[in-house]
Amino acid sequence: MTGTIDTTNELAAFLRTRRERLAPEDAGVPQRRRRRTPGLRREEVADLAGVSVDYVVRLEQGRGLRPSPEVLEALARALRLSEDERSYLFDLAQQRPTNRQPSTSQAGSLARLVLDLSPLPAMLVNHRLDILAWNPELAELMIDFGTVPEHQRNSLWLCLMHPAFRDFYRDRERIVREGIADLRAAWAARPDDDGLGRLVGELNTGSEEFARSWELRDVRVNGRGTKALRHPRVGDLTIEFEVLSPLQEPDQRLVVYRAADAASQVALDVIAHAAAKRRPTLRAM
């Protein structure tokens, strides 16, 4: 895999996978006869989107077309794309207007905010899911990121490659798939980000788990949710997470964790007590 994305071929593959996984009944297409393969036919997509069959064929073959925003909207409706998938489609076609400014590499005042959020575990990540800052509670909940080499300090890389996280997530398969779907959205939005391309290439080569999920081409930006954890010291607990996007640093995200239930709150209280001894050790890249 190269350092940057081949948007033409990725657009073709994305359209094919979404067509093949969309059931005719979900698209409002009547079934007149049994189908040998699942999903919609190209002519059905063409009819729903109001374009020619030849146009759909050329798009799916990656033959250098750059569809207009109007055609992309029609394809998104025809394929019943989610909002995140629609944004991904527009990014691949380089048709989504953006005023995105490059994010600074320093966490700055947001790193101080991470510390102020104690006793809630919190961290600051960028669009690549690199961990820029964290507080002592997060270090106690997960791992002391200060002991991890800087180039490995990435939440998805750690989940897939670090032995401490092998059994950490009780619902590991879902967590991995959601993390990869989130990374894929960033990958399409920033096709010239060599660092992001290298990360995708490294994970694709080094993790069969990543490679399998990456080929699914799922796209989802995770703004909130729950994670079931197996902590080596306090046992099983479930956390809720919330992701906040600072207006002046759109490529950075503030991730805050809370207990999902009373038993998990007891576990987080134990973690917070242990973290109090680490209070001065906040790090920022």
Please determine, for residue 2, whether its predicted confidence score (pLDDT) is greater than 50. no
3 state SS of 244: strand
User: How many degrees, rounded to 5, is the angle at CA 254 between CA 212 and CA 223?
Assistant: 50
Tokens of 53: 């069959």
Residue 104 confidence (pLDDT) = 47
Looking at residues 225-249, what average pLDDT do you find? 94
Confidence of residue 4 (pLDDT cuts 50, 70, 90): low
Confidence of residue 30 (pLDDT cuts 50, 70, 90): confident
Give the phi and the psi of residue 115 in degrees, each rounded to 5: -65, -40
- Residues 104-141 have pLDDT tens digits of 445 678 888 999 999 999 999 999 999 999 999 999 99
Residue 222 confidence (pLDDT) = 87
Strand 252-259 relative to strand 283-284, pairing: unpaired
For the beta carbon of residue 98, count every other beta carbon within 10 angstroms.
Answer: 10
164-177 burial: b if 16+ Cβ within 10 Å, else e = ebeebbeebeebbb
Closest CA to 189 of 135, 141, 144, 250: 250
- Residues 147-180 have pLDDT tens digits of 999 999 999 999 999 999 999 999 999 999 999 9
Looking at residues 242-258, what average pLDDT do you find? 91
Confidence of residue 75 (pLDDT cuts 50, 70, 90): very high
For the beta carbon of residue 150, count every other beta carbon within 10 angstroms.
Answer: 12
Tokens of 189: 């939005």
Please determine, for residue 284, whether its predicted confidence score (pLDDT) is greater than 70. no
Tokens of 150: 């800087």
Contact 65, 12 (CB under 8 A): no
The more confident residue out of 98 and 75 is 75
Strand partners, 254: 124, 244
Please determine, for residue 285, whether its predicted confidence score (pLDDT) is greater than 50. no
Looking at residues 274-283, what average pLDDT do you find? 68
Looking at residues 188-195, what average pLDDT do you find? 88
Please determine, for residue 280, whether its predicted confidence score (pLDDT) is greater than 60. no
Confidence of residue 38 (pLDDT cuts 50, 70, 90): confident
